[in-house]
C-alpha cells in the first residue's frame, strides 16, 4: 500500500500533497475535550497509552489526515529528568527552574527509556490501529526549546535566563545543551523503535536565539541528534521545525541532515520554494488563524501556498499549532480544497 506522506518526505512530488495539522489532536475537538476531562492531570493523560491513542486517532477518523502525530508533549523530557513539570490551568506549564547544571543528576538521561516507556507503548498500539497508508509521527522538542522551559521554569516571551546562560562563558550552557541533546536522542530512539514512521523536532523558540549563536545552539545539536540516530540504526526520516529563524533556514537546511523542514507563517513561501535545497521536503506555512476566519481569504491563502510549491515535494500543514477556537467546518473546507484538486 502506498503511503503518500512517506513518499513525499523521501522527495516524490504529489499532485495532491499529504496533509496534517500541528496540534491536530486538541481542544478544538469536542471528543478530545471529553477524553481530556477524564484525566485532570495533563502528564498522566500523556502517559496513559489507551487515552493517548484514542485522541491521536480522533482527527484521522474525522478529517482523514495523512499522518497521525502521537499525543504526547515536548515537556515529557524535562518531566522524565525530574524537573517537576506540571500544567496549571489558565497558566500553562510550570517547572522547577534549574539554577545550575549540578541540579541535574548524572543518570537523569538514563531515565528517559523507563519513565517515557508509556509513550513507546502508545506508539506501538497506535501503529497497530492505524491504516498502512497513514504515517505515524513521533516527536521531541529540540534541545534549545526544552532548555528555555528548564531555565525559565515556565513559558516566556523573551527567555532572559536562558539567553543569559548562553552569553555566560563558564560552559554551563554547553554542558546543559549536551545533556538535553543526549536525552532527546534517547527519546527519539525509543519512539522510532516503538513504531514511529517519522520523527519531528520542534524548535518552537528558535527565533529567540541570537543569530550569532544559531550554529552552536540550533544547528549543531540537531546535526548531532540525526547523526547519532543514523549511527544507531534509526532510518526514519526527520522533519526539523526551527520556528521563526527566517533566512537562518538556509543554514539550517545546509548544516543539519533533515529530510523535511517546517515553515512558520512568517516565511515567504515563494522565497522558500526558490531558495531551500530541492532534496528537502517543505512542510507548513499556513497561518493557523486563517482557519478561524475560513471562507475566501483562507482559500486564497491555501492556493497561494499550493501554487508556490507546485514543483516541489511538499506536506501541507500550518505555520504553528491549530488553535482551540478553530471551527471544525473550516478544517473540512481546507481538506476539501486540497484533496479536491486532481490527483
Ligand atoms: O496533535 C499534536 O500536535 C500532538 C500533540 C502535541 C501536544 N504538544 C499536545 C498538547 C504536540 C506536538 C505538542 C508539542 C509542544 N508542547 C510544543 C511544540 C509545538 C508548539 O506548539 O510550538 C510546545 C512548546 C509544548 C509545550 C506545551 N504543552 C504548552 C506551551 C502547552 C499549553 C499549555 C496550556 O495550558 O495551554 C502544552 C499543553 C498541550 N500539549 C496541549 C496539547 C493538546 C493543551 C493542553 C490541554 O489539552 O489541556
What's the pLDDT band for 309 if we cut at 50, 70, 90?
Answer: very high
Catalytic residue check, 27: yes
Across 228-238, average pLDDT: 98
For residue 235, pLDDT beyond 70: yes
For residue 109, pLDDT beyond 90: no
Site to substitute for ligand 1 among 19, 26, 157, most atoms within 8 A of C-beta? 26
| 162 in Cβ contact with 152 (< 8 Å) | yes
Catalytic residue check, 259: no
Across 177-191, average pLDDT: 97
315 lines ligand 1 (CB under 6 A): no
Of residues 90 and 329, the one with the higher pLDDT is: 329
Q: Give the chain's mean pLDDT.
A: 96
For residue 260, pLDDT beyond 50: yes
- Nearest-CA residue for atom 23 of ligand 1: 74
pTM > 0.85? yes
113 lines ligand 1 (CB under 6 A): no
Which architecture does CATH list for 4-242?
Alpha-Beta Barrel (3.20)
59 lines ligand 1 (CB under 6 A): no
For residue 200, pLDDT beyond 50: yes
At residue 334, the pLDDT reads 98
What's the pLDDT band for 341 if we cut at 50, 70, 90?
Answer: low
**Active site residue: 28, 32, 149, 252, which one?**
149
> Ligand 1 centroid to 243 CA: how many Å?
15
At residue 205, the pLDDT reads 98
At residue 342, the pLDDT reads 46
Give the angle 111-115-118 at the CA atoms, nearest 5°: 145
Across 208-227, average pLDDT: 98
CA–CA distance, 101 with 97 (Å, rounded to integer): 11
Q: What is the DSSP letter of 255?
A: H
What's the pLDDT band for 59 if we cut at 50, 70, 90?
Answer: very high
Q: Where are the alpha helices (DSSP H) in the chain?
A: 4-9, 30-37, 42-46, 49-63, 76-80, 111-115, 117-129, 143-152, 160-167, 172-194, 214, 220-231, 248-255, 269-275, 290-293, 295-308, 328-339
> Ligand 1 centroid to 149 CA: how many Å?
13
Amino acid at each position: 500500500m502506498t503511503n503518500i506522506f512517506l513518499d513525499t518526505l523521501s522527495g516524490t512530488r504529489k499532485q495532491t500533497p499529504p496533509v496534517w495539522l500541528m496540534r491536530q489532536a486538541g481542544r478544538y475537538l469536542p471528543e478530545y475535550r471529553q477524553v481530556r476531562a477524564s484525566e485532570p492531570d495533563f502528564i498522566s493523560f500523556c502517559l496513559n497509552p489507551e487515552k493517548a491513542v484514542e485522541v491521536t486517532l480522533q482527527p484521522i477518523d474525522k478529517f482523514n489526515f495523512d499522518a497521525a502525530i502521537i499525543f504526547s508533549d515536548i515537556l515529557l523530557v524535562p518531566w522524565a529528568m525530574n524537573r517537576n513539570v506540571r500544567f496549571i490551568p489558565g497558566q500553562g506549564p510550570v517547572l522547577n527552574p534549574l539554577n545550575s547544571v549540578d541540579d541535574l543528576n548524572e543518570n537523569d538521561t538514563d531515565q528517559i527509556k523507563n519513565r517515557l516507556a508509556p509513550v513507546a507503548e502508545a506508539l506501538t498500539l497506535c501503529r497497530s490501529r492505524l491504516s498502512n497508508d497513514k504515517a505515524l509521527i513521533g516527536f521531541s522538542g529540540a534541545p534549545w526549546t526544552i532548555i528555555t522551559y528548564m531555565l525559565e521554569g515556565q513559558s516566556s516571551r523573551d527567555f532572559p535566563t536562558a539567553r543569559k546562560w548562553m552569553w555566560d562563558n563558564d560552559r554551563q550552557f554547553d554542558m546543559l545543551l549536551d545533556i538535553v541533546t543526549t536525552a532527546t536522542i534517547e527519546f527519539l530512539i525509543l519512539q522510532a523503535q516503538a513504531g514511529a514512521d517519522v520523527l519531528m523536532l520542534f524548535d518552537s523558540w528558535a527565533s529567540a536565539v541570537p543569530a550569532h549563536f544559531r550554529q552552536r545552539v540550533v544547528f549543531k545539536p540537531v546535526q548531532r541528534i540525526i547523526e547519532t540516530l543514523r549511527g544507531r540504526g534509526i532510518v526514519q526520516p526527520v522533519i526539523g521545525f526551527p520556528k521563526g529563524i527566517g533566512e537562518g533556514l538556509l543554514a539550517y537546511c545546509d548544516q543539519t541532515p533533515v529530510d523535511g523542514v517546517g515553515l512558520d507563517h512568517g516565511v515567504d513561501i515563494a522565497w522558500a520554494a526558490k531558495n531551500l535545497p530541492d532534496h528537502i521536503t517543505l512542510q507548513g506555512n499556513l497561518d493557523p488563524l486563517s482557519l478561524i476566519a475560513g471562507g475566501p481569504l483562507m482559500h486564497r491563502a491555501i492556493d497561494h501556498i499550493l501554487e508556490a510549491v507546485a514543483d516541489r515535494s511538499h506536506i501541507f500543514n500550518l505555520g504553528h499549532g491549530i488553535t482551540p477556537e478553530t471551527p471544525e467546518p473550516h478544517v473540512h473546507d481546507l481538506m476539501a480544497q486540497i484533496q479536491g484538486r486532481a490527483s
